[in-house]
Amino acid sequence: MSKIGKQPVKLPAGVSIETTPGEIKIKGPKGELSRKIPASVGVGVKDGTILVSSKEGTKQAKSTFGTIRSIIANMVVGVTEGWSKQLELVGTGFRAEVQGRALILTIGFSHPVTIEVPEGITFKVEKSIITIDGADKELVGQIAANIRAVRPPEPYKGKGIKYLDEVVRRKAGKAAKTVGAPPA
């Protein structure tokens, strides 16, 4: 059995849960999230806590049981506090702006790149930092990864789109390699 899966998930005030066979819905001040639950995992509510249990003894059921508990805990945090990722634009002339329900990136290509905002996600741009907020942790992370993939940071000058806390390993350029070489 999973050590994480056995731990109960506390329901904060203002959060309601609705379980049906094969699905769980959690409502809170920041929104509503739903998730399909495998048949091998049982979810119950008792005294303001969510208890997750494994219905089968198979290896697959045991591994799924801990994962589902973590997903439910992330859903509870998402509907109460929300999730956030921050990206930084590094490069001369790199800009980002929000127009309606789209993020417009000007990052050195011959054309601006437009990224549509899915439902439940909000973008904020301050100087060169893009903040992505939402209740669904998985969706916030995927949108951040999609934006970063448009122009990942390159190792020579560090230009591109990177996570705010990401460290880009830099490489020495051609000039550094020829410094120690004997003259020809």
Pick the CATH number of 83-163 from 3.40.50.11740, 3.90.930.12, 3.40.50.920, 3.30.70.600: 3.90.930.12
Tell me how far apart the alpha carbons of residues 181 and 109 are, in angstroms, rounded to a whole number.
36
Produce one character per residue of 109-120: b if its CB has 16 or more CB atoms within 10 Å, e if not: eeeeeebebeeb
User: What CATH class is the domain 3-80?
Assistant: alpha beta
Helix (H/G/I), strand (E/B), else coil: 44 = strand
Q: What pLDDT score was predicted for residue 1?
A: 54
Where exactly does CATH 3.90.930.12 map onto the chain?
Answer: 3-80, 83-163
Tell me how far apart the alpha carbons of residues 102 and 118 are, in angstroms, rounded to a whole number.
9
Residue pLDDT tens, the chain, 184 long: 568 778 889 999 999 999 988 899 999 999 999 999 998 888 989 988 999 888 888 888 888 888 999 999 999 999 999 999 999 999 999 999 999 999 999 999 999 999 999 999 999 999 999 999 999 999 999 999 999 999 999 999 999 999 999 999 999 888 766 655 566 5
